[in-house]
Structure 1
């Protein structure tokens, strides 16, 4: 009679660690949702550029030095555009992430997912209100830097509940926000870089690392 095989302690520890991560972190965030959100941001930046060009002689640059009356006149359209971008990005994220959780047999609205949502929402709501006050108070040049900074902080705050790549995306947004503070006239360009190309780049990285058939992290996620 052959003796029973001795369990590998390292394999057991790895399995325990994987179980603990799945119970404390939302690991089914889809990279394709980041790609979709980035495409939405690029389209929104283009729409904002053409809208401002139609309203002001120098477009975005003229908005930065516009009078309070002119800024308030443009605010409803800008808020409508922002709301449409946020809604479209959330729908894209919901679709691809739900598809991934369904394929992996996990629950979309799990306890880690709820903690992730709260960790994101608090800095985002506070940052959005702060940037609205900047716009109304005559410091429109700091709105895009503020959006990038608060979004980066929100990603950093939420990264402990999801994939590690989110932390680096957050640091990227913070870096772009700081650069945008030094070049306020390039606000739309930094917006497109951060919310557009940043999302697309990290989304493709996450997809290739965790979701692409044969990827090393496919089974773990």
Structure 2
């Protein structure tokens, strides 16, 4: 006679199957750590450039300076942003692809496509909006705008992946709102949000979902 099946175990298994089919759960925490390191390195490079060309108060002078000064810095800042985004995407792809392969999952399934689309739409809109702010002379709102739009993108995408992404999005939005009040601290808030924020939540996700449990004695 076969033993009775545990209904609670059946429900747990059904829920796990539904989550795997609707959410991309192979997102690696190391992707966040790598993206955070890239952001901190980019922030340091940007600070060096502004300090070299505009003095110790380089970022504040850029924010409050003339249109000619902002236009002179625009090619470097745009190139730096594109380089940071490209490198962060490569790091994210490497670690997430590695985790998906280890779990026997494909990196380009339906949940992954929904995740990327829900991320991309607010990010593209936010990038274009913040570029317009810079060109129009409202450079002090660029970093707050980037943080706010990125936070909204993470909130929009969180329903397709790990729950920690929602918390990271709320953190980015909170930093963006505070950054509006402190325009001269833009680089610091950029480092906090895109750098330390990614590293902190990346380590949290890695320890929760990827780190092998220590053997008990």
Q: Same fold (TM over 0.5)?
A: yes
Per the TM alignment, residue 70 of structure 1 is displaced from its structure 2 partner at its CA by 1.4
Structure 1 residue runs of 5 or longer lacking an equivalent are 216-221
Q: Which residue of 2 aligns with 1:141?
A: 140
Q: Which residue of 2 aligns with 1:218?
A: none
Q: How many residues are aligned here?
A: 213
Per the TM alignment, residue 22 of structure 1 is displaced from its structure 2 partner at its CA by 0.2
After superposition, residues 1-221 of structure 1 pair within 5 angstroms as 3-57=1-55, 58-214=57-213
- Deviations 1:35-72, CA, capped at 9 Å, x for gaps: 00000000000000000111113210100011112111
Q: What is the alpha-carbon distance in structure 1 between the residues aligned to residue 89 and residue 111 of structure 2?
A: 18
- Deviations 1:66-108, CA, capped at 9 Å, x for gaps: 1112111110100000001001100000000000000000000
Structure 2 residue runs of 5 or longer lacking an equivalent are none
Q: What is the alpha-carbon distance in structure 1 between the residues aligned to residue 84 and residue 65 of structure 2?
A: 24
- Deviations 1:185-210, CA, capped at 9 Å, x for gaps: 11100000000000000000000000
Judge which range, 55-64 or 205-214, deviates more: 55-64
Q: What is the alpha-carbon distance in structure 2 between the residues aligned to residue 109 and residue 213 of structure 1?
A: 25
TM-score of the superposition, structure 2-length normalised?
0.97
Return structure 1 stretches of 4+ with deviation > 4 angstroms.
none
Q: What is the alpha-carbon distance in structure 2 between the residues aligned to residue 72 and residue 115 of structure 1?
A: 37
